[in-house]
Amino acid sequence: MTVSPQSPAPEPLFDFAQAVDELVRDTAPRLFAVVEEYRAGTEEADAVVVAWGLGHADDSAEVISVDGHRRWQLADAGHIVRYFGRTQDLSVRLVWLAAPDADPSTQSRAA
């Protein structure tokens, strides 16, 4: 079949399934861990995940402790570090799980 130059090219069909997939990827919350680090930077360094959270596009977050006994709803994910101990040898930070197309160097945020 030939198409004359005067005939407009057919418009591609709208792919609803693809649009839904893009919507889900664009609006999905991001998963992060709340990590307590002991003696970071020393030979005795250790770390433990104490909670998991979902960060939303508006910076709010929902967090649950690993034992499931404590839950938080926060206006900003970074505020969760207030609920965990800090001493000279202990620090708390968020570790964001990378989105498939994200730069891994931007995924960990100290608090």
Question: Are 63 and 72 a contacting pair, CB within 8 Å?
Answer: yes
Distance CA 72, CA 94 (A): 15
DSSP character for 16?
H
In a domain, 20, yes or no: no
pTM: 0.72
**Model pLDDT for residues 32-79, shown as the tens digit of each residue:** 999 999 998 899 999 999 999 999 999 999 999 999 999 999 999 999
In a domain, 35, yes or no: yes
In a domain, 101, yes or no: yes
In a domain, 77, yes or no: yes
Range of the domain at 87: 29-110
Domain count, the chain: 1
**Tokens for 39?**
């003696």
Question: Are 50 and 79 a contacting pair, CB within 8 Å?
Answer: no
